[in-house]
Structure 1
Amino acid sequence: MSGVVRGASSGEIVGILLAAGRGRRFGSDKLMHPLADGRTMALAAAANLRPACDRVVVVLRAADHPLAARLVEAGCEILACPEADGGMGHSLAAGVRATADAAGWIVALADMPFIQPSTHRAIAAALRARASLAAPQYQGQRGHPVGFARQWREALSALTGDHGGRDILSAHRAQLVLRPVDDPGVLMDVDRPEQLPARPQAAPSTD
């Protein structure tokens, strides 16, 4: 399987899709859970992120995850993070260290598969317009994904625990560019199966 992460080129916006959590509250591997359109949650999240970025790196617990080959086929690169049990910070730090020459990163979550591609593009555009930090806003609420410019490389690379980039955002709110979007998916993280939209029912037979 190809798709092993290579170093980033200067000027690239890299999407980092965090997909190394265990999803204990979901009750099973939620990355593999099929959505109403038949795609798994992780593949849908990756497909929505990919058009906005020069590259997408998916951080998994192990390189032999059952979805790894399909993610590579979708144009993503795979990064294994054995330290993922330590929390989201470890996964994010690993993704940034592996692409340390990037101009910026869009950090997305594999359990938020309903974010529209246009939202990811809006965050990428903010980074390319030299925003330091960027995030979407839906009906007054900040959502995901979050964009980080290159200046945060060292801070992101040193993350541990389960805070991700939250502390950076909290400490530097004045630098955060909010992009209003008409996309409720930016607030829809899936922790339990009942949070997923119901699958459409098949039309009754007319035979």
Structure 2
Amino acid sequence: MKIGIVITAAGRGERFIQAGGKGNKLNAMFKGKTVFEHTLHQALASGLPVRVVTRPENLPVQQACAKHQVQVTLLASGGLGESIAAGVAATADWDGWLIHLADMPFVAPHVFLQVANALRQHPIVRPSFQQQPGHPVGFSSALRKQLCALRGDNGARELVSHQQVHLLHLAQQTIVQDIDLPSQLADSE
């Protein structure tokens, strides 16, 4: 069973910019690398295949992917749903997908592996921390058609809300931590 990680990196990061951030938050420096590079390194360290969906104009993300020979799907995304659909469609030979948000650099490699292992027995797997849903969210190939039809900015929320979801209760708060504001970059130094 071939399970891989789709990193969605095609958002505009509007909250980050509205809060005073400069440019795309994924390219902001954080502990010596960009936010995206941290996320990419964590995913690659899992040993699972990785595909990135990003905007055509986001050259730093594309360059980081090229450096690590990670395939990229370019998409002027109108929302997370479109990004997920594009990533799943581009990896039709996979049997399952871990959908991960590029602004979540704290998720450790072993979390990706735990979700992937649980996905071998369940059609949807989601890690949680103290009743908070986290990432990555795993989907089996039984949901390929629905994933490829996603649109809008709600990602796969509607799909998850209408299906049985296997929750992995984890002790890592990192599965719910993202970077949305410039102040979070300083807090994490």
User: Is the alpha carbon distance of 1:199 and 1:92 closer, same or farther for their aligned partners in structure 2, counting shifts above 3 Å?
Assistant: closer
Output aligned runs, 1:65-144, within 5 Å: 65-82=59-76, 84=77, 86-128=78-120, 130-144=121-135
1:44 maps onto 2:38 in alignment? yes
1:22 maps onto 2:12 in alignment? yes
Question: Does the CA-based 8 Å contact 1:169-1:176 persist in structure 2?
Answer: yes
Structure 2 CA distance for aligned equivalents of residues 116 and 64 of structure 1: 25
1:193 maps onto 2:182 in alignment? yes
Structure 2 CA distance for aligned equivalents of residues 134 and 14 of structure 1: 14
Identity percentage of aligned residues: 36
1:32 maps onto 2:24 in alignment? no
> The residue matched to 1:196 in structure 2 has which SS?
helix
1:163 corresponds to which letter in structure 2? N
* Root-mean-square deviation (Å): 1.7
Q: What runs of 5+ residues in structure 2 fail to find an aligned partner?
A: 18-22
2:10 corresponds to which letter in structure 1? A
> The residue matched to 1:147 in structure 2 has which SS?
strand
Match of 2:20 in 1: none
Match of 1:156 in 2: 147
Structure 2 CA distance for aligned equivalents of residues 67 and 142 of structure 1: 26
> The residue matched to 2:33 in structure 1 has which SS?
coil
Q: Name which of structure 1's ranges 64-73 and 13-22 shifts more when overlaid on structure 2.
A: 64-73
Structure 1 CA distance for aligned equivalents of residues 101 and 147 of structure 2: 16
Q: 1:182 aligns with which of 158, 164, 171?
A: 171
Matched residues, number: 184
Question: Does the CA-based 8 Å contact 2:8-2:99 persist in structure 1?
Answer: yes
> The residue matched to 2:180 in structure 1 has which SS?
coil
